Amino acid sequence: MGAPTPGLLILVPARAGSKGLPGKNLKSLGGLPLLAWTARTIAASGVSARSILTTEDAAIAAVGRSHGLETPFLRPADLASDTATMVAVVEHAVGWMEREGGFAPSAIMLLQPTCPFRKPERIRQALDLLALPGTEGVIGVKGIDRSLSVVYQEGPDGALAPLAPWDERTRRQDVRPLLTPNGTLYLTTRESLVRHRRLFPPQLRGLVTDHIESIDIDTPEDWALAEAVVAAGLATP
């Protein structure tokens, strides 16, 4: 990678503890540790930035370094617990870089290793969206081709209630797609992070990714799906 682009900090969070799939960040997928897929995506994007792995685990840090990620610190144990919020993890990393690393970012991108199939161009596309006037943040999203009249919420008695009145005239092809976060990426300005302390600021844009990119590995079933994608040649590291 070339000289860092002024102001851009890419964070890759990878803790050792995982209840759903123990050790997943170092687990081999297609012959590479899971977190290495994200490291390679950053390198292939052509975007020059400070790319930092935030982890509490020395073994994860060593693997991250071997795949081109900086590991200037180990995350405090309390920020690697099941109750730690991702915002707190991001704030810690940004604060450390500003105080100890001599780097004051104007934008922060979070790339979770559990979404290994994001395409390199998504990083560039997200930065283009953030540059649009009034934008405070960008998140990766996937579409839900359903009307709210057939999206239900379960009530206290177990009965289903639609989120919008039923409209039998609405055809599937006429429905304006709903969008939901898929974990592929989060991007926010430093100013917005300070003001809102959220990865979902009010002035938010969505970057739509495909179904394979949207796979977020958290369970053995997710892992089996990811392995099937690799075996089918639908994604390569």
**Domain assignment present for 158:** no
In contact, 137 and 192? CB cutoff 8 Å: yes
| % of the chain exceeding 90 in pLDDT | 81
pTM of the prediction? Answer: 0.91
pLDDT of residue 129: 97
Nearest to 36 by CA among 56, 49, 51, 58: 51
pLDDT of residue 198: 95
**Domain assignment present for 35:** yes
**Domain assignment present for 152:** no
In contact, 64 and 15? CB cutoff 8 Å: no
Q: What is the pLDDT of residues 104-143, one digit of tens each?
A: 999 999 999 999 999 999 999 999 999 999 999 999 999 8
Q: What is the pLDDT of residues 74-111, one digit of tens each?
A: 999 999 998 999 999 999 999 999 999 999 999 999 99
The number of distinct structural domains making up the chain is 1
State phi, psi for 4 to the nearest 5 degrees.
Answer: -60, 140
> Which tops the pLDDT comparison, 6 or 4?
6
**Domain assignment present for 164:** no
Q: What is the pLDDT of residues 41-76, one digit of tens each?
A: 999 999 989 999 999 999 999 999 999 999 999 999
Q: What is the pLDDT of residues 159-199, one digit of tens each?
A: 999 888 876 656 666 667 789 999 999 999 999 999 999 99
**Domain assignment present for 190:** yes
- Domain range spanning residue 109? 8-142+180-231
**Domain assignment present for 38:** yes
**Domain assignment present for 212:** yes
**Domain assignment present for 2:** no
**Beta pairing class for 204-208 and 137-144:** parallel
CATH number at residue 119: 3.90.550.10
